[in-house]
Amino acid sequence: MTLTDQQRDEIRAAANTVRQDSVRMTNAATCGHPGGPMGMADFMSTLFLAHLNLNAENRHDPERDRFILGNGHTCAGLYSLLAQKGLFPSESLLEFRKFGSPLQGHPHRNLDLGIDMSTGSLGNGLSVGAGMALAAKQNNWETRVYVASSDGESQEGQIWEAATAAAHYGLSNLTVMVDFNNIQIDGVMREVMDVRDLREKYAAFGWHAVDIDGHDIDAVDGALCAAKEETTRPSAIICHTTIGKGVSFMEDKAAWHGVAPNDEQAQEALAELGA
Amino acid sequence: MLQTMARELAPLHQGDPIKAATREAYGKALLELGEEMPDLCVLDADLSGSTKTKAFGQAYPERFFNCGVAEANMMGIAAGLASMGKTVFASSFAMFATGKAWEQVRQSIAVPQFNVKVAATHAGLTVGEDGKSHQMLEDITLMRVIPGMRVLVPADAVEARLAIRAAAENEGPFYVRLSRASTPVVFGEDYKFELGKGAVLRDGGDVAIIACGIEVGMALAAAEELAQSGIEARVIAMASIKPIDADLITEAARDCGCVLTAEEHQIRGGLGSAVAEVLATRAPVPMAFCGMDDEFGQSGDAWDLISHYGLDGPGLAASARALVEAKNS
Ligand SMILES: Cc1ncc(C[n+]2csc(CCOP(=O)(O)OP(=O)(O)O)c2C)c(N)n1
Ligand SMILES: [Mg+2]
């Protein structure tokens, strides 16, 4: 299965909205993490629009697909996509990180909004995804479990405990998408603590693992389709991305990991994104 | 010696009103100690800009190790370094330093009594918008319960700098809890921090408020408010939660007849519990506890959250007033 032209247009538009929302939301909150979700926008939009079986109608269906944002700090992008899929009105996005808003600074499980898991502490997500995938297998459900992770999160030992277990249990219904932008808080990942070749590592742990350009939506779609063909192994898609993608002054800069654009920067960023 | 250090704190007092974050004082203290102690090593877990260890890393790159997002491993590396004779400071956010790596801190650092100082920042509600995943409200409990672990929760930048020095100069494991937010400086330059001693910041005989961390400033505000309605509160800063100043607590209980504790932490297991452990055996009096009552925090402005959970000056004053009424009825 390949994407139709219409699907491609829709995914590109959704990804651009994710980027604009990441800028608007963090600007309104005067804090948060805009860079990560902008880099993840293309693969996340492909997942949410073309693969993840979650929408306003089936949100409470126990057999629907699950999604866990292991790198929880990038939740502006998750919230944008959930709003775009109609799980809540997009006006709520500007309440991000504010007192009383369900759109917490890091995801808090809320099935009404389609948020399957509380995250924010790096390293925890993939294990929970493995547990969900195990239960789905036990129940003979078609449910697929998707977990987003990152190069920085791959430094946590628990990721590799989860990788061992998921392969051991043959969780072919589990897919991890790793945002590999070579950036973490303290700088360039290769310099801070090099995780080296994640595709090779996941493969050595017994996973079906591929490297792709995380901004190439056809490559993302192809990798997600291939993951569904696996019958005995979990799949790892290492998505090579650029943090802050789409805004020239934000691209590839660790500084945009966790700093909100001020009004002037937000205006400039939104102009570059064609808003 | 402490007096000399107190004088060195002068730069923190420039500008009015005087406000500083305890994590800033930590960063400065590390720079001083780095010069004095050639065996001092500092570890961080991809948060060196936030925890303020970065300046040490720039000044002494050969003694600074960024372990990446891998806190459990960092504590193990700290233990190994200490076993070879190094004095080690290991930093991350309080959530990850004590939560993610609790078992490594217990087994690899505390059991062999290694010379590792876990200095954690961004403790409590005042991380604000990051929300419950980052608001560590259980760390005092988690660290206090480990045999041999000393626990310090400085009230301001002055005390933080002295507490860090005390941790460095006393052999064995320490936990120092630091904040992200800037708070008023409550201690003067002549303040002497002593391990196992609390400090009386205001005298009074109707109620004793024993606080740590940012709640010390709030307790002083509460005492001011209470004085207007004729209630005289004694305010005690208890940075040294373990070892704790049992004599000062006992004396306060006997003089005031009731004790309120205040902390940016769960009620269960924290400073309030430590004070209650002392009073239950030495001087039982009516007590009340200000802290998180068995719930997680949430996203929001740091100071809005402090008010919401009754941990600002008016919140503490209301709890103190109710306690005094209960004592007198
Ligand atoms: C267990 C844990 N340790 C530390 C942190 C603080 N933290 C949040 S994001 C981050 C960097 C993670 O790297 P990555 O996900 O690659 O960041 P990005 O590419 O989005 O900038 C760190 C250290 C955390 N959230 N959880
Ligand atoms: Mg990264």
The domains of chain B are located at 2-184, 199-328
Cis amide leading into B17 (omega within 30): yes
Q: What ligand has the least distance to the C-alpha of B131?
A: 1
* Chain B positions in Cβ-Cβ contact with residue A157 (cut-off 8 Å): 70, 72-73
Q: Which pLDDT score is estimated for B16?
A: 55
- Residue A1 pLDDT: 73
Give the per-residue SS3 of chain B. CHHHHHHHCHHHHCCCCCEECHHHHHHHHHHHHHHHCCCEEEEECCCHHHHCCHHHHHHCHHHEEECCCCHHHHHHHHHHHHHCCCEEEEEEEHHHHHHHCHHHHHHHHHCCCCCEEEEEECECHHHHHHCCCCCECCHHHHHHCCCCCEEECCCCHHHHHHHHHHHHHCCCCEEEECCCCCEECCCCCCCCCCCCCCEEEECCCCEEEEECCCHHHHHHHHHHHHHHCCCCEEEEECCEEECCCHHHHHHHHHHHCCEEEEEEEECCCCHHHHHHHHHHHHCCCCEEEEEECCCCCCCCCHHHHHHHCCCCHHHHHHHHHHHHHHHHC
CA atoms within 13 A on the CB side of B260: 33
- Distance between CA atoms of B142 and B213, rounded to whole angstroms? 17
Separation between Cα atoms, residue A21 and residue A94, nearest integer Å: 9
Nearest one of A69, A63, A25, A23 to A47, comparing CA atoms: A69
pLDDT given for residue B15 in this prediction: 47
| pLDDT above 70: percentage of residues in chain B | 95
- pLDDT, position B189: 87
Which residues are A179's β-sheet partners?
A: A150, A239
Q: Do residues B89 and B169 make contact, with C-beta atoms less than 8 angstroms apart?
A: no
- Those residues whose C-beta lies under 8 Å from the C-beta of residue A204, and which sit 6 or more positions away, are none
Mean pLDDT across A19-47: 98
Domain range summary for chain A, segments of one domain joined by +:
5-272
Cβ pairs A/B, distance under 8 A? 91
Tell me whether residues B134 and A120 touch, CB distance under 8 A. Answer: yes
Chain A residue set in contact with B, beta carbons under 8 Å: 29, 31-32, 72, 97-101, 104-106, 108, 118-123, 152-153, 155-157, 184-186, 192-193
Q: Where are the beta strands (DSSP E) in A115-254?
A: 145-150, 174-180, 183-184, 187-188, 208-213, 235-240
What CATH number should be reported for the domain whose range is B2-184?
3.40.50.970
Q: What is the DSSP letter of A231?
A: S
What sign for the dihedral angle of Cα A62, A64, A70, A75? negative
Identify the pLDDT of residue B18. 82
- Sign (positive or negative) of CA dihedral A59, A61, A66, A72: positive
Single pTM value for the model: 0.96
Rounded Cα distance between B208 and B258, Å, is: 6
- Per residue in B227-237, pLDDT (tens digit) is 999 999 999 99
Choosing from A73, A159, A241 the residue with most ligand 1 atoms within 8 A of its CB, the one to mutate for a pocket test is A73
Chain B residue closest to A153 (CA)? B69
Output the pLDDT for position B184: 92
In the predicted structure, residue B5 carries a pLDDT above the cut 70: no
Instruction: For residue A257, give the ligand 1 atom closest to its CA.
Output: 21
Q: What does the alpha-carbon distance between residue A66 and residue A53 come to, in Å, rounded to a whole number?
A: 8
Amino acid A190 reads R
Q: Check CB contact under 8 Å for B133 and A106.
A: yes
**pLDDT (tens digit, 9 = 90+) per residue, A138-156?**
999 999 999 999 999 999 9
Is residue B10's pLDDT more than 70? no
Please say if B215 is a catalytic residue: no
For residue range B285-310, what is the model confidence (pLDDT) as tens digits? 999 999 999 999 999 999 999 999 99
**DSSP label at residue A64:** S
Round to whole Å and give the CA distance between B273 and B261: 9
CATH 3.40.50.920 fits B199-328, yes or no: yes
Task: Name the CATH code of domain A5-272 (choices 3.40.720.10, 3.40.50.720, 3.40.50.2000, 3.40.50.970).
Answer: 3.40.50.970
Strands (E) across A206-266 are located at: 208-213, 235-240
Strand partners, B209: B235, B260
pLDDT tens readout for residues B160-181: 999 999 999 999 999 999 999 9
